Structure 1
Amino acid sequence: MAKLPRSPPRSKPLLRDESGQLQSRPIRKRNPAQPQLLFDPMPDRVEPALAALKTRAPAGNFGWEIKWDGYRLAVHIEPNGVRLLTRGGYDWVDRFPAIAEAARELGPTAMILDGEAVMLDEQGRSDFNLLQASLGADGRKSGNLTSPAILYAFDILYLDGHDLRGLDYQERRHLLEDALAGHEGAIRLSEEVDADPYALLEHACRLGVEGIVGKNRDSKYRSGRTGDWVKLKCVQSESFVIVGYEPSNGAFGGFASLLLAAYKGIDLVYVGSVGTGFKEAQSVQLRKMMEKLHWKRKQPPVPYSGKRQVMWLQPTLIAEVEYRAWTNDGKLRHSAYKGLRKVQDNADVYRIEDRDGDAWLVSG
């Protein structure tokens, strides 16, 4: 007699109590022999890499791009929000709403972008005065305005749990291009130009751009001015401390010029004055700020042997000044005022080295 086929076994209930709630199995402890996925915590803040000013392009594997004239920002896109950190460590997410919104659109990927916040003129050139005006630093207001500035990103330091500072710049550049692919809003890629640096600099100068920046493609990301990044400029523009002003009854704001200082070692030294480039509203606002900073001591804040009448100031305000050259005795030539640097920007004050008998060599 043929055997009847067996009935298929009934599946066991997930739980003994079929009417109860489903429960997952308890999590077992990780086997220490199993490898762990690498994860780098996101740095709370990274001091930026800085470009050293050069008169000639260095030898080596350098990539070149336009030098943007604005405020350096580190864009932190984090799981709990976005931060836009200035060089001084201040969060300006409320000051640059367009950049902040573009950063949110890049999420939820966690990353840190390094770039420059700029305002562009009608020819597409970055204009520091326009940026200052958008932030209320042109004398119209002293409050905290919001700026429609955009950000040109030129490096990426962190991406999806990985600290990228140990990678070569060329590798970071590829990752940055991928991260920004398809995004053309308020965060844009600072394009690398494959050209001879001198031909590129000549072209940049004809267009009225400040200069170009070169980055060693084989270098890691190192904070500070290491020589991995360099800049060649058409017109020199640096930050100087305002240490005094020359009063004038016939000029806007009641001053004819600002007296400037730079660092030599730990000391401030007088490097000349600037008397052009001021707008009326700027001059009036600047004079109000300087009235609160009059120097109370007998000796001026810097050694000075000039003959003009000077109202000395506490060395607090930092001016961005454009100039063409230096005199033999270390004074600025053909200088023009561009604007005040904000405290939050933590701008580098110009520094001077005394080396090989040359008294006025640029270190910054």
Structure 2
Amino acid sequence: MPARIEPCLALLKSKPPVGRQWMYEVKWDGYRLAVHIEPGRVSVITRGGHDWTERFPSIASAARHLEVETAILDGEAVVLNEQNRSDFGALQQALGGRGGKRSAEEALFFAFDLLYLNGQDLTRLPLHGRRSLLEKMLHVEEGVIRLSEDIGSDGALLIDAACQMGLEGIIGKNIDMPYRAGRNGDWVKIKCVQSEGFAIVGYEPSRVALGGIGRLLLAARKGDQLVYVGGVGTGFTAKTGTALRRHLDAIAVPKAAIDVGKRKGVFVKPVVVAEIEFRAWTHDGKLRHASFKGLREEADAASVYRLPD
């Protein structure tokens, strides 16, 4: 059995592809893992090739009870919130935060592919063949290791439903293709993206970033105050970054208008509103996977996002 198989990765698409060859699953918000099962041994391997068996003891224990001699399962470790949605912040908290050393006893493993089974390499089989074998293996609905369900073939309908439900998005997979490493288009991801206005309270300069802005520092409203909600360091071009830095330098102030912790940078009057695209919120109330879209104009009734009380 191979020690590691390079993972197939999903290519980001703005719209789901159409055709009988496409199936869709929920896009889980967790850690990509491969579970290797051998006689007397189970290993939980991260996407980067690190052995995290000790960090996911419940997944390793459940794998030992599967009725197989050897297998490699591809899937995602998640922690579900009260709404039964995968919560990346809760998973990070379970592991002790970024760089933490805790084990995530409460993590579940949603398996979406089977790459090796009882001495046989399955990667050359089409996905529908691999899925059929995986479904037979994971016939029990509850438990730590679960099947990532096929939720249908109408991608347009499914992404709308996923976004309305507050999910991260959907994954589309070509059922006729073998398992191939990398972002080759066999798997695609369509994400639910949020976009809101946030006040710029400063920026961190950079000598290498486009326009000299390494990261904008952002704030949202909570009650009658502004609170720091993290930063954004992508979405700029050289032209927009340079223009934005000049604009911000003209309204610079000696110290931050709000509490931004120990962060250093150029602080500004919180009068400029940026439109920010983001995927989700972290457990401690910061933007996750944010991208700068542009500045909101006063004529456009620019408003700062208001956090729930």
TM-score by length of structure 1 reads 0.58
Counterpart amino acid of residue 156 in structure 1: L
The 5 Å alignment of 1:103-142 reads 103-137=63-97
Counterparts in 2 of 1:271 and 1:153: CA distance versus 1, 3 Å: farther
Q: Does 1:333 align with 2:293?
A: no
Q: Equivalent of 1:77, from 34, 37, 41?
A: 37
Q: Equivalent of 1:203, from 161, 167, 171?
A: 161
Counterpart amino acid of residue 58 in structure 1: P
Aligned with 2:17: secondary structure?
coil
Supply the distance in 1 between the matched residues of 2:24 and 2:14 (Cα, whole angstroms).
Answer: 15
Aligned with 1:170: secondary structure?
helix
Of structures 1 and 2, the larger Rg is shown by 1
Counterpart amino acid of residue 146 in structure 1: S
Supply the distance in 1 between the matched residues of 2:48 and 2:151 (Cα, whole angstroms).
Answer: 30
Aligned-CA RMSD value = 3.5
The 5 Å alignment of 1:278-357 reads 305=242, 306=245, 307=249, 311=264, 333-335=276-278, 338=282
> How many angstroms does 1:80 deviate by?
3.5
Counterparts in 2 of 1:232 and 1:104: CA distance versus 1, 3 Å: same
Q: Does 1:144 align with 2:104?
A: no
Supply the distance in 2 between the matched residues of 1:51 and 1:232 (Cα, whole angstroms).
Answer: 9
Q: Does 1:221 align with 2:164?
A: no
User: 1:126-185 deviations in whole A, cap 9, x for unaligned?
Assistant: 0111111111117xxx64111111010000100000111000011111011011123631
User: 1:301-359 deviations in whole A, cap 9, x for unaligned?
Assistant: x98742369858xxxxxxxxxxxxxxxxxx9724476379xxxxxxx9x9xxxxxxxxx
Counterparts in 2 of 1:206 and 1:163: CA distance versus 1, 3 Å: same
Q: Percent identity?
A: 47
Q: Equivalent of 2:8, from 49, 54, 67?
A: 49
Counterpart amino acid of residue 176 in structure 2: D
Supply the distance in 2 between the matched residues of 1:260 and 1:113 (Cα, whole angstroms).
Answer: 44
Supply the distance in 2 between the matched residues of 1:153 and 1:58 (Cα, whole angstroms).
Answer: 23
Q: Does 1:170 align with 2:128?
A: yes
TM-score by length of structure 2 reads 0.67
2:48 aligns to what? 88
User: 1:5-27 deviations in whole A, cap 9, x for unaligned?
Assistant: xxxxxxxxxxxxxxxxxxxxxxx
The 5 Å alignment of 1:249-268 reads none
Counterparts in 2 of 1:81 and 1:203: CA distance versus 1, 3 Å: same
| Matched positions, count | 238
Counterparts in 2 of 1:259 and 1:163: CA distance versus 1, 3 Å: farther
Q: Does the 8 Å CA contact 2:173/2:186 hold for their aligned counterparts?
A: yes
Supply the distance in 2 between the matched residues of 1:183 and 1:194 (Cα, whole angstroms).
Answer: 18
Q: Does the 8 Å CA contact 2:68/2:117 hold for their aligned counterparts?
A: no
Aligned with 2:216: secondary structure?
strand
The 5 Å alignment of 1:211-250 reads 211-235=169-193
Supply the distance in 2 between the matched residues of 1:171 and 1:260 (Cα, whole angstroms).
Answer: 52
> How many angstroms does 1:46 deviate by?
1.1
Q: After TM superposition, where is structure 1 displaced by more than 4 Å over at least 4 residues in a row?
A: 256-261, 267-272, 302-305, 308-312, 334-337
Supply the distance in 2 between the matched residues of 1:126 and 1:221 (Cα, whole angstroms).
Answer: 25
1:189 aligns to what? 147
2:306 aligns to what? none
Q: Does the 8 Å CA contact 1:210/1:233 hold for their aligned counterparts?
A: yes
Counterpart amino acid of residue 31 in structure 2: Y
Structure 2 unaligned blocks of 5 or more:
221-229, 231-236, 255-262, 266-273, 292-309
> How many angstroms does 1:88 deviate by?
1.4
User: 1:91-138 deviations in whole A, cap 9, x for unaligned?
Assistant: 111111111111111154210000000010111100111111111117
Supply the distance in 1 between the matched residues of 2:183 and 2:125 (Cα, whole angstroms).
Answer: 18
User: 1:229-269 deviations in whole A, cap 9, x for unaligned?
Assistant: 001111269xxxxxxxx9xxxxxxxxx677599xxxxx865
Counterpart amino acid of residue 338 in structure 1: T
